[in-house]
Amino acid sequence: MTTPARHIARLLRWGRVLARHGALRIIEEGSNTPAPVRRLCKLARLGTIQPRVPDYAAAFRAIGPAAIKLGQTLATRPDVVGEEAARNLLSLQDRLPPIGFDLIRAEIETSFGAPLDALFASIETEPVGAASIAQVHRAVTTDGRTVAVKVLRPGVREKFARDIETYEWAAAHLEALGGEAARLRPRAIVANLKRWTVRELDLRREAASASELAEAMRGQEGYRVPTIDWDRTNGRVMTVEWIDGVKISEIDVLRAQGHDLSDMARRLVLTFLRQAISAGFFHADMHQGNLFVQADGTIVAIDFGIMGRIDRRARQWLAEILYGLTTGDYRRVAEIHFEAQYVPSYHSVEEFATALRAVGEPMRGKPVSELSVGQMLDGLFAITRDFDMQTQPHLLLLQKTMVMVEGLATAIDPEINMWDVAAPFVRSWIRDELGPEAAIADRLRTDVETLFRLPELIRRIEDRFPAKGGAPDQAPLPPVEIMWQRKGRGNQWLGYIAAALAGGALVWATTQGIVLG
């Protein structure tokens, strides 16, 4: 178990890295920063020269892999880090210098317990991509298929475990300070980050996520997921089909190839909505490096280490919130926040609806180029403090992905109207999921499930309260006071004397019986 001194030493070391990039100033000068944290920041920056313009992304890259993931999470929280830092962190790409192929070969052979030649006819020694967790090599299988082989960096699991343990320790102490720190729920944020990274560090789970998403998106026109080679996949190595295509960020190349960029941007948005709202399972790392466009215009996603999941009730709330904001039904949006218990009940629904109107109305009627999901999220975050809204960790990935998708769609087609694209889809989904027919179907399904559970419920009740046997009930017995249950000192001594006399008489009678016998 790591000692508090070790945790503090790590935090101070990371603090010095932040200070050298000017990224510590935002914490130290924050109006809501607790005094102990401010003192720790002052200690960490001693002897460092802070640049005037901070570079938060560079600071997190310099700290290491776990910090990169944390920075990407904080990029969705302008209410925590501020708008300037959030914008800078959005540029945080998970790229690191590659490691030598000898180490990669050793990882593959050790994990499979077989020589490399038994798995692949050839494999390129130069990686096509290198990130904080793994790097990818192009290869050809022994049966002649071109594939991408993703291999974990040696020791990365252990390093992540150490760093996240310190994040947990720091978050617990920060939350214990109360006030604004407690409202932002740093422990829950770190717990979510830990779940995401544990999933990324097991490549079998990433392969399973890709398979599940492919199944959920079957039939979606113009979008697909690469096929997994399960025979060459384990916890440390994942093999998928090789994708020939152009990165979705290479707009000029896509335009030169004759692709309909407007349709592509629209498909991208609708694909995300189908994943998040219809399936409740979405690709949560949709940056430009993880999306390719094939010659026929099909969008292919890669890298499924970070996936988001939303249950059906939360998806219903989300759909109604999006639709309410696009149509100006702020009262209904406010009611949903109270139904979901995102806003404590001691606040006023009407006041919250007015605050939502202040966020939504400035965007209504504006030209397409000025409409922004990110702007809307910033506005919503701005009112969370006024209404004591706690952080909802299960929505953090969704918020992050919404901002990513909007940025990509706008880059492909600057004239896209996110609201116009989303509204028909959301309206149709609400009609199907929340309309009268859906309500009746839900009620029937729930009632039938309840009926089917009744026999089992009755059996459990019988187990708990079994039927009486054939013997008659015992007649009531007269109460007898137990002497050691009497209260009072005098009564206790009388009991002891009586017990001694009774015991002596019993011994005497027994002795007499033996003698006489």
Q: Where are the alpha helices (DSSP H) in 201-328?
A: 203-216, 251-256, 261-273, 312-327
Q: d(Cα 59, Cα 55) in Å, to the nearest integer?
A: 6
User: 3-class DSSP state for residue 309?
Assistant: strand
Q: Where are the alpha helices (DSSP H) in 309-435?
A: 312-327, 330-339, 349-360, 373-384, 396-412, 418-434
Give me the catalytic one of 94, 163, 285, 413.
285
* Long-range contact pairs involving 391-395 (C-beta distance under 8 Å, separation at least 24): 391/77, 391/183, 391/184, 391/185, 391/188, 391/189, 392/342, 393/185, 393/188, 393/189, 393/191, 393/192, 394/192, 394/310, 394/314, 395/310, 395/314
Range list of β-strands (E), 186-245: 223-224, 237-241
Are the beta carbons of 93 and 289 closer than 8 angstroms?
Answer: yes
Burial class (CB within 10 angstroms; exposed 0-12, middle 13-18, buried 19+) of 183:
middle
Q: d(Cα 487, Cα 493) in Å, to the nearest integer?
A: 11
Q: d(Cα 208, Cα 305) in Å, to the nearest integer?
A: 10
3-state secondary structure 429-440: HHHHHHCHHHHH
163 is catalytic: no
Question: What residues are annotated to the active site?
Answer: 285
